[in-house]
Amino acid sequence: MRFEKYFQPGSVEECCALLKEYAGKAKVLAGGTDLVPRLKMGLLKPTAVIGMMDIPGMDEITLSEEGLTLGALANLRKISLDSRLDQDYLVVKEACGHVSSMQVRNMATIGGNACNANPSADAIHGLILNDATAVIASDKGVREIPILEFFAGPGKNTLEQGELLVKFVLPKVKPRTGAAYKKFAIRGDSDISIVGAGARLTLAEDGTVAEARISLGAVAPTPMRAVKAEALLSGKAPGEELFRQAAEAAAEECSPISDQRASREYRLEMVRVWVRHALEEALERAK
Amino acid sequence: METLIGKGEKRIDAYDKVTGKGLYASDFDNQFPNMAHIKAKRSPYAHAKILKIDTAEAQALEGVLYILTGQEPGIDWDQYPKAAVLATDRTLWAGQAVALVAAETEELAEKAVELIHVEYEVLPHVLDYYEAIKPEPAAVIDPDYETRDQGFQDRPADRATNRVSPNIVGAFYMNSGDVEEAMAKADVTVEGEFWVGKKTASPLECANAICRYDSDGGITMWSNGAGVHGVIKQGICRILGMKEAYVRVIQPYMGGSFGSRLNPYIEILTALMCLKTKRTVRFTFTRKEVFCSAPSNWPCITKIKLGAKKDGTVIANDYYLCEEIGAALNNTFFSGRLSSSGAAPCYRWAEKGRTSNMRMDTYAVSTNTVPAAEYRGLGCPEAEFGIECLMNRLADELHMSPVEIRLKNIIDNGERNCYGELITSIGLKKCLQAVADEIGVEEEPVQDMGVWKKGRGCAVGGKQNTPLGRSEAEVWYNSDGTIQLFISCDENGMGATTAMTQIVADQFHVPITAVRTTKGDTAITPYDNYSASSRTTYNLGNAVLAACNECIAKLKEEIARHFGLHPSKVEIEGTTAYLKGTYVQEVNIPSLFVPVGMFTQGNWGLQQGTPVKGHGIYCPAPIHQWDKNGLSDRVWNWFQYSAAAVEVAVNEETGEIKVLRVASSADTGNPINPKLVEGQIVGGVHMAIGFSTMEEHLYNENGEIANCNFSDYRLPGILQMPKNEDVHAFINPDALPDGPFGAKGMAESITIPVGPAIAEAVYKAVGVRVTGYPMTAERILALIKEKKAKEAAK
């Protein structure tokens, strides 16, 4: 694990300048739970490593009238234990709390989980279900993109050279909304997900589904939304049969592969099971 | 003082291990500032022809000390442990070493490995039994088998006369009674084909060896491998031609073995590189290498038919077994017959008092996978899985309880098993009853967990102890009354050193803390082969007892001479001797040791600074050669038995299995230390839950293990285990007549019945019959779906 330079800049501007200077040859260090093993295994050989921990405010979790802001360095364990989120953002807590072991969560960050762009990432489901926006800085200024546009493929995000992910902004949650995230893995949270399934339901006053979100992990090259399944739910009265149909639609929309963790067929079956359970729980919470 | 035998004494290594003060082999890494490092270049292909190995670029790298390839002259690779053989013209499995590099630093060695360029011509491979056993398989692992000289030619069907495939290497045939006639008489028969997957023992500490080049050309090795004398030193002397006086092997604390470290797969190569470079060298496996380049278990396929009377008496067993030995050239002692021992231990296979009706047809088949070798249970968990599954099926067909049918068929003490061996110790019926009662196997569980359906099941298992080798021990009674024990058994973690120390303390009537034990250094501690086949308590225990006896006898003689008595008039309790027939009734023993100064003369007898020593040797009687039917009255030494019962919950939607409660019982003979036995029971159960429900090798398209790391090779974590209060350990001893204090080994038996008990519980929970393990969630769900589809079709 050798690299030539290590920096710990004190501001976003300074950090962006360094990223620009090293033009793709620098890696950003947040919690380090993914970066350090990859450096050790020789999978990444950057010239410089840039630690973000001295940039003020990067790790903040801010709840306001407008919604929730999570700094890129917001710690997963802190998010998972933040009781201020219980009311509206329970699913954000839940998804962060399902990432690996407590030892890893003590180090890992929400920004790191997103930047790694692992298709099976858990923490980012809370962001997808809440239509989060990623705030990205560079020497050219700040740009904002919807969370799903942040992922490009397995291990690939859409950050350009010289860009730094600063924070996620989650809009205010509408009334009568409930959301849940289900992680399915053989050895619980410490395993990498075989399937991740999240659901959010916002109900109209008459109890029908006004808005639905379904997020899926580990079943496509990037984390995804099952938009056809969402459309199928919209405007209908929620119930067992409808959820079954939505889960089936979600299974049709995704494109899992077979690997050492599970076969394609098993993953599809688990999408059917866990989307249904996520919807059931989201409905419970919406009521 | 009350006897210490049967007392749950605290482990003598507990403090060291819990506080981290104990030194493991890897802790010696930083003791040698000038140490060189070894790394291996390994084949990514399961089967490939090596066209060219270009080491020039690596050779030119500064700091590279030596590069060894399979072509190195003067090396007889046939002598090397299978997993240590460097490929010469063909690579036989993915992970086989093609070259070894020694370099000044670990990083340089890694870089040099990258700079070695190997040109391969990829050949077709066979990765499992079903591919390998075809009459015209895609790959033949050992084309020279027919003409190869075999080490063991004295067994029935050894040359595998019925070689349906050129990959069959080694066979065993046994026939007792008349299976066909018995089968015809049976009221009911059940049959099935069963499989058990390939797995890796996963000790926490990866294989590690450091070899120091001594100034006189000798070598000193620190290794976490097993058998300092019998495996490592002997191996180095035999294979590398070293003189015995010039090889010293030291075993610090071992970070686990589970049998896997019985193969010196890094030690011989490390010593070789040490001699080549004349430097202190270190070779440590990565976790990937532990999976891809260290031996696995022996996966087995069994095809079994059982015939029974209406009352549940099983009167015939027709048994076919094929064990997959991986890419191992050269027949070994075990090939094709080892797991067959697993078919023998528990049942009569006849009506009581009659000759067993048992036909055994067993083979070994080679594949392009990592060579198989010792793994806790030595093939018995794999070989007995099918038998136990069929016993449960028979019970169902005959509307009997799985407990009742077993109690009817389990051999009793004093009977002969299917080989014709006299059974002298078996507590299995008591074991079974204890676990069945604890879990309530004969009662239905209350279904109160939603999609998780509960079921209960039980099974039994037995394993032979092979009458192996020789154990020696030395006991010193020091002039100040302290006592020392010198032994060379492995301490894989089972606690044998504590049990041995306990025996000495018991014999001298002192607390265990009064005895200090030194272990595992060939220059200091006496000979022992290795800790294998659950033999240590039995073999070494007898040797320790003999050493105590000799030491005590000598001490009594010296004390008796002092008082003009016959030695029989002296009793020793720690530092006190009690005398009969003289005016002195008791004496402080250390006070009898005379002080010694610079000019003291005539230094005979008890003298300060000189211990009284006792030496003990034990070797079990050898086996009796079997007859043409594969029968003998002494094939094995004794048998260890275990029963297990479980309550599981199966998730109908995902196929996951949760073990809710488990009870396991060991027939240990009289346990020396019941607390350690309980530890072994719990550990064994946990290990078996892992390999029964999760662990297996999966391959990529090159035939390389795809899950060679701890995130994808699923070892159960603490949360996958039943809670401590739901794990019940019972000891149901039946004393072994020739064991020390009636004790025998038990560590391997525990893992055997857990898998089939889970399989039965799964059937009771969701109605699907499992035919192999690991019973992964995916496999169980597929069976559930198949069952539902069948029901829908009706």
Minimal CA separation from B712 to chain A, in Å: 6
* Residues of B with Cβ-Cβ distance to A190 under 8 angstroms: 717, 719
Q: Is residue B343 part of a domain?
A: yes
CB proximity B60 to A under 8 Å: no
**CB–CB of B712 and A273 under 8 A?**
no
**One domain for residues B284 and B303:** no
B406 and B429 share one domain: no
At A36-81, the pLDDT tens digits run 999 998 899 999 999 999 999 999 999 999 999 999 999 999 999 9
Instruction: Chain B: give the shortest CA distance to residue A105, in Å.
Output: 16
Same domain, A84 and A153: yes
Tell whether the model's pLDDT for residue A203 goes beyond 70.
Answer: yes
Q: Do B661 and B756 fall within a single domain?
A: yes
A243 inside 8 A of chain B by CB = no
Shortest Cα–Cα distance, B676 to chain A (Å): 28
> B480: domain CATH number?
3.30.365.10
Cα separation, B390 vs B400, in Å, equals 13
Among A residues 96-155, those touching chain B with beta carbons less than 8 Å apart: none
How much is the pLDDT for B328?
Answer: 83
Do A158 and A183 lie in one domain? The reply is no
Quick one: B187 and B221 in the same domain? no
Chosen for mutation from B714, B775, B780, B786 (greatest number of chain A CBs closer than 10 Å) is: B714
Q: Cβ-count burial of B591 within 10 angstroms (0-12 exposed, 13-18 middle, 19+ buried)?
A: exposed
* Rounded distance between C-alpha atoms, residue B177 and residue B207, angstroms: 46
* A261 interfacial to chain B (CB closer than 8 Å): yes
Is there a single domain that holds both residue A167 and residue A65?
Answer: yes
- Tell me the pLDDT tens digit for each residue of B252-270: 999 999 999 999 999 999 9
Same domain membership, residue B613 and residue B638: no
Option in B654, B711, B716 nearest A270 (CB): B654
- Per the domain annotation, does B16 fall within a domain? no
Percent of all residues in chain A with a pLDDT value above 70, rounded to a whole number: 100
Please determine, for the modelled complex, whether the ipTM score is greater than 0.85.
yes
| C-beta atoms of A260 and B654 within 8 A | no
The domain spanning residue A71 has which CATH number? Answer: 3.30.465.10
Query: Residue A238: inside a domain, yes or no?
Result: yes
- At residue B156, the pLDDT reads 47
> Which candidate in A187, A191, A192, A274 is best for mutational testing of the B interface (most B CBs within 10 A)?
A187
Please give the pLDDT value at position B145: 83
Other CB atoms closer than 10 Å to residue B545's CB: what's the count?
21
The verdict on a CB contact (< 8 Å) between A190 and B717 is yes
Say how many domains are in chain B.
Answer: 4
Cβ pair A188:B714 closer than 8 A: no
Residue B437: other Cβ atoms inside 10 A: 14
Mutation site, A186, A195, A272, interface B, largest B CB count within 10 A: A186
Q: Is residue B145 part of a domain?
A: no
Cβ neighbours of A188 in B, within 8 Å: 717, 719-720
Same domain (yes/no): B501, B577: yes
Same domain for A67 and A156, yes or no, is yes
- CA separation for the pair A1, A46 (Å, rounded): 10
Could you tell me which of A187, A243, A245, A191 has the C-alpha nearest to residue A217? A191
Does the residue A25 lie in any domain? yes
Give A254-269 pLDDT, tens digit per residue: 999 999 999 999 999 9
What does each C-alpha distance from A191 to A38, A122, B10, B567 come to in angstroms? 18, 11, 35, 67
Distance (Å, whole) CA A97 – CA A93: 6
Asked if B205 contacts B254 with a C-beta cutoff of 8 angstroms, the reply is yes
Q: Is residue B508 part of a domain?
A: yes
**B445 and B472 housed in the same domain:** no
pLDDT in tens, B656-684: 999 999 999 999 899 999 999 999 999 99
**Residue ranges in chain B whose pLDDT is less than 50:** 156-157
- Count of Cβ atoms closer than 10 Å to residue B404 Cβ: 15
A192 and A151 together in one domain = no
Per-residue confidence (pLDDT) for residue B173, from 0 to 100: 85
Question: In this complex, do A259 and B706 lie within 8 Å of one another by their Cβ atoms?
Answer: yes
Q: In this structure, what token pair is assigned to residue B720?
A: 């996958």
pLDDT of residue B369: 97
Domain that holds residue B726: 422-466+634-794
Nearest to A184 among B654, B698, B719 (CB): B654
Same domain, yes or no: A25 and A66: no
User: Looking at CA atoms only, how far is residue A205 from chain B in angstroms?
Assistant: 32
CATH of the domain at A20: 3.30.43.10
Q: Would A56 be classed as within a structural domain?
A: no
User: Which of A187, A260, A273 lies at the smallest CB-CB distance from B716?
Assistant: A187
For residues A246 and A202, membership in a common domain is answered with yes
Nearest CA in chain A to B705: A260
- Residues of chain B neighbouring A186 (CB-CB closer than 8 A): 656, 694, 714, 776-777
Residue B659: partners with Cβ closer than 8 Å, 6 or more residues away:
B646, B647, B648, B689, B693, B721, B722, B758
Q: Specify whether B103 is located in the same domain as B234.
A: yes
Model pTM score: 0.96
How far is residue B424's CA from residue B414's CA, in Å, rounded to a whole number?
A: 6
B228 and B374 in a single domain? The answer is: no
Minimal C-alpha gap between B653 and chain A (Å): 7
> Chains A, B: CB contacts under 8 A, how many?
38
Residue where one domain finishes, among candidates B618, B643, B667: B618
In the numeric block, which tokens belong to residue B304? 């079994």
Q: How large is the angle between the packed helices B777-793 and A264-286, nearest 10 degrees? A: 90
Give the model's pLDDT for residue B152.
53
Residue A267: closest CA among chain B residues belongs to which residue? B778
Residues B298/B301/B306/B312 CA torsion (nearest 10 deg) = 60
Q: Which long-range contacts (CB under 8 A, 24 or more apart) does A251-258 make?
A: A251/A275, A252/A228, A253/A216, A253/A224, A253/A226, A253/A227, A253/A228, A253/A229, A254/A216, A254/A219, A254/A220, A254/A224, A254/A226, A255/A219, A255/A220, A255/A221, A256/A195, A256/A218, A256/A219, A256/A220
Residues of chain A in contact with residue B776, where contact means CB-CB under 8 angstroms, are 186
Does residue B756 belong to any structural domain of this protein?
yes
B286 at A interface, C-beta within 8 A:
no
Measured distance CA(B186)–CA(B306) in Å, rounded: 9
Residue A82 CB neighbours (<10 A): 18
Based on the domain organization, do A124 and A199 belong to the same domain?
no
The domain boundary, picked from B570, B591, B618, lies at B618
Kindly state whether residue B144 falls inside one of the protein's structural domains.
no
| Cβ within 8 Å of B, A 161-220 | 184, 186-188, 190-192
First to last CA, chain B: 73
Examine the domain organization and report whether A164 and A208 are in the same domain. Answer: no
On whether any CB of chain A is under 8 Å from the CB of B524, the answer is no
Q: Which residue has the tokens 């990037």?
A: A222
> Across the interface, do B778 and A270 touch by the CB < 8 Å criterion?
no
CATH number reported for the structural domain that contains residue B215 in this entry: 3.90.1170.50
Q: A120 and A66: one domain?
A: yes
- Helix, coil or strand: residue B479: coil
The answer to whether residue B7 is domain-embedded is: no
Cα angle, residue B723 at apex, residues B721 and B729 outer, rounded to 5°: 90
Residue B147 sits at the chain A interface (C-beta within 8 Å): no
Q: How far is B404 from chain A (nearest CA, A)?
A: 35
List residues bridging with B42 in a β-sheet. Answer: B97
Q: How many domains does chain A have?
A: 3
Residues A77 and A92 in one domain: yes
Cα–Cα distance, B659 to A15 (Å, whole number) = 51
Q: Is residue A101 part of a domain?
A: yes
User: Cβ-count burial of B246 within 10 angstroms (0-12 exposed, 13-18 middle, 19+ buried)?
Assistant: middle
Q: Do B720 and A188 touch (CB under 8 A)?
A: yes
The tens digit of pLDDT for each residue in B746-771 reads 999 999 999 999 999 999 999 999 99
Are B229 and B115 found together in one domain? yes
Tokens of B260: 């896997």
CB contact under 8 A, B781 and A261: no
Q: Are residues B609 and B485 in the same domain?
A: yes
Q: Is B161 exposed, middle or buried (0-12, 13-18, 19+ CB in 10 A)?
A: exposed
Q: Which chain A residue shows the shortest CA-CA distance from B653?
A: A273
Number of other CB atoms surrounding residue B130 within 10 Å: 11
B569 and B682 in a common domain? no
Across the interface, whether the CB atoms of B777 and A186 are under 8 A apart is answered: yes
Q: Residue B84 domain-assigned?
A: yes
- Please give the residue range of the domain that contains residue A165: 61-171
- Determine the Cα–Cα distance for residues B556 and B114; give it in Å rounded to an integer: 66
Q: Are residues A65 and A10 in the same domain?
A: no
Q: Domain boundary residue among B586, B618, B650? A: B618
Residues 6+ apart with CB under 8 A from A36: A1
